């Protein structure tokens, strides 16, 4: 058997850092289901929040985030904070996570895909009308099918 080449340590460090500082909607949902103590922070505008948000998230719009840090657990409590905005085309969550890291929070992650992929994966959404789920987008997550004759 041919030995494997030595790992590229730069690549290992890069991908390890991404997993430390980024998460995705599926992993956040699974962690919440498992009882993880994760605080989601939505940094979008009031209009976006009212249109729909992750149930249980805190709304701290990006322009107000630093001024409202007293609404979060103290950095010394080492809370797990997950920041999100609209989606992959928005860097508001990156800016929010950076602001929290600068404020001394050590366990901060950005939810890649943002609210867009949360909703597109069929995860629970809270709107002005209440809690709901949108249909699963088959381009973002498997669509559950009823088992029956002719299915795998």
15-58 pLDDT per residue, tens: 999 999 999 999 999 999 999 999 999 999 999 999 999 999 99
Contact between residue 102 and residue 88 where contact means Cβ atoms under 8 Å apart? no
User: What CATH code would you report for 26-133?
Assistant: 3.40.250.10
- Nearest by Cα to 39 from 100, 86, 123: 100
Inform me whether the pLDDT recorded for 90 exceeds 50. yes
pTM recorded for the entire structure: 0.88
């Amino acid at each position: 058997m041919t030995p494997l080449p030595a790992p590229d340590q730069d690549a290992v460090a890069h991908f390890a850092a991404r997993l430390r500082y980024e998460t995705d909607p599926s992993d956040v949902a699974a962690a919440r289901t498992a009882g993880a103590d994760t605080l989601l922070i939505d940094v979008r505008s009031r209009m976006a929040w009212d249109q729909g948000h992750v149930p249980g998230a805190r709304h701290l719009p990006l322009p107000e985030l630093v001024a409202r840090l007293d609404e979060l657990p103290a950095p010394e409590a080492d809370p797990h904070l997950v920041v999100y905005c609209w989606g992959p085309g928005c860097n508001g969550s990156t800016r929010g996570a950076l602001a929290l890291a600068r404020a001394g929070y050590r366990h901060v992650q950005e939810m890649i895909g943002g609210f867009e992929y949360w909703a597109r994966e069929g995860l629970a959404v809270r709107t002005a009308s209440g809690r709901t789920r949108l249909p699963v987008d088959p381009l973002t997550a498997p669509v559950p099918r009823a088992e029956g004759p002719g299915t795998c």
